Amino acid sequence: MYINSGYLNHSRLPFQDKSQPLIVGSCGTYRLRNKFNLPTWRPKGRIDYQLLYVASGKAYFRLNKKVHEVTAGHMVLFLPRQEQHYEYFGKDKPEIFWVHFTGSQVKQILRSYEIPTDTNVFFCGSSAIYTYLFKEMIQELQTCRVGYQELLAMYLRQIFLLVQRSRQEHRPSVNSYLQEEIEYACKYFNEHYNESISIEEYAQSRGMSVSWFLRNFKLVTKQSPMQYILALRINNAVNLLETTDYNMTEIAAIIGYDNPLYFSRIFKKQKGISPSDYRKERTEQPRS
């Protein structure tokens, strides 16, 4: 197990300081092998921001009561006072870098570099430059040479800039974490489309904000989650109308509608014809 870290003014106490736009309070790295494991749990979080970079291997973060496996090439951002619960295992051979920071303009700075604050985990790409910058910050905090606080802020801004570049250059392609999340959502919706689904509850169960999930689901599928679910319901209704003798009340219930009149209105809005007329047209067509 390898640990190395540095602290502003050699103090390990977390702090808030708004005397400067961006202030790095501490920075460090962990590298685990063999049987070592390293858990962290801060129920009330910290009073500053924390950014973690998975340089290699993987780590496990518990977000909104669900464990997420975070692989190399991803970062995790914790906001002030947000619960932190994560663990590293030696068998996964993780190498993790972390930095704590505060300041009077942190929110604006993160926004300017398009660093997402509505989701904890985001793709940043794997780069030796990240590793170099984190190591430089550790050394500056350990040696406290002239102008080191200003240099620390510059190094951290460089990391933010590299994240922004990586995210922009990967557009419109989709990073692996996002792809996995959207694929998982589609599978979930396919299995539960006929149940009452709360998009807000689903997003929270996966450690995502609703706005982030809605935006990125549409980016990948070209439709909103509710449009996706509606399409599943209508497509399955069409299949039942064409292949079974179930009445409208039964079909409505099967695809998730308690009210058959509401189902008929939704179906007509989507298909331009009522479900009963749709079935009539199909049964009247000559069979080949």
Q: Give the residue ranges of the chain where pLDDT is below 50.
A: 172-173, 287-288
d(CA 83, CA 64): 9
Burial environment of residue 80 by CB neighbours within 10 A (0 to 12, 13 to 18, 19 or more): middle
In the chain, domain spans:
2-169, 172-288
Question: What is the DSSP code (8-state) at residue 45?
Answer: -
pLDDT of residue 206: 87
pLDDT of residue 62: 94
Burial environment of residue 169 by CB neighbours within 10 A (0 to 12, 13 to 18, 19 or more): exposed
Q: How many helices (H) and strands (E) does the chain have?
A: 10, 10
Question: What is the DSSP code (8-state) at residue 151?
Answer: H
pLDDT of residue 288: 40
pTM of the model: 0.61
* Fold match flag (2-169 vs 172-288): no
User: What's the number of CA atoms in the CB half-sphere (13 Å) around residue 19?
Assistant: 5
Q: How far is CA 143 from CA 7, 11, 15, 29, 156, in A?
A: 10, 13, 20, 17, 17
Q: Does 2.60.120.280 match the CATH number of domain 2-169?
A: yes
- 3 state SS of 77: strand
* Residue 70 structure tokens: 């975070």
| H/E element, 69 | strand 66-71
How many other CB atoms are found less than 10 A from the CB of residue 13? 10
Report the CATH architecture of 172-288: Orthogonal Bundle (1.10)
d(CA 47, CA 153): 18
Question: What is the DSSP code (8-state) at residue 269?
Answer: H
Q: Which amino acid is at 58?
A: K
pLDDT of residue 172: 46
pLDDT of residue 125: 84
What is the DSSP annotation of 115-145? Answer: --SSBSEEE----HHHHHHHHHHHHHHHH--
- 3 state SS of 275: helix
d(CA 249, CA 239): 15
